[in-house]
Structure 1
């Protein structure tokens, strides 16, 4: 089984440490939409150093939208899993929304991810992060999707999903407790959008 490394990038060193440790056949670099010179130089250094031996692909993403980043990472994970590849996600570089988006994208496809890692800059070592999952039912996912589509009342939700209003209220309460629906309004939160990536 071959390894694919999906990695945020800023400085070249954490990615090089991951390449050395995991020996991937493919590296997918999550680059920013308006990449800085440091990121461009890091990509160029990696391509020059490893491009003859490893497929290196850049995936340009919106560096400020964690939901879009999570969705892009989830798509990349699904694509790589189709090839039967082992998947390692590195969240060491980039802006915080980028690292969080990559982390949540890995959580959304937890069943396909072998490791989520962070490179400790000071110790130059790889730290494994827990692989968590959202753990919400299909009905809760349906409620969140309906909220995105514009449902704004419990009656609308229960009718569209096909469950009683009482059950709908219970699901909403649980989703609010999880932080996936706003506490005061019947609106999905960013965490809710991430949970259904």
Structure 2
């Protein structure tokens, strides 16, 4: 049975792994880099994670879990749909500097070759879209939104967010973060027939 200390050490190692991978990328990160950043030996690293691939997959799962927890908070919130949508857009927006986005983009590339990463990325993406669809449907029901196809709208908004995230992190001088935020808010407002200033 895993002790509390061991679980805490594992969490610390995953957090450090995420930081190193976000900085160096999956393809350029070695286990020795993570061990050094964490101040531990490679032997201890492999005590917790049997292979480099397992460590990388679990590091991404750690980030995904944190994001899922935030999504769950939005889902459980008693706030009106418009407020919940605003919170979801802020959570997912690449206009906010985040090492999580760098890790996420790198994981997409790796997911084409690593089934475990593909499964994790797909599940988290699906949860985001389903939550947005549920918020839109609730907003239609209470009269806050007008939308003929909530599912298609959720797909389009997240496709825009994902595309802008890539532009923001791969080409940081292409768009200002303020402009990125404006583009997302305007698209959501147009999709749902609400004034952009409300988002």
- TM over 0.5, yes or no? no
TM-score for the superposition, normalised by structure 1: 0.30
Kindly indicate which of the two structures has a greater share of residues assigned to helix: 2
TM-score for the superposition, normalised by structure 2: 0.30
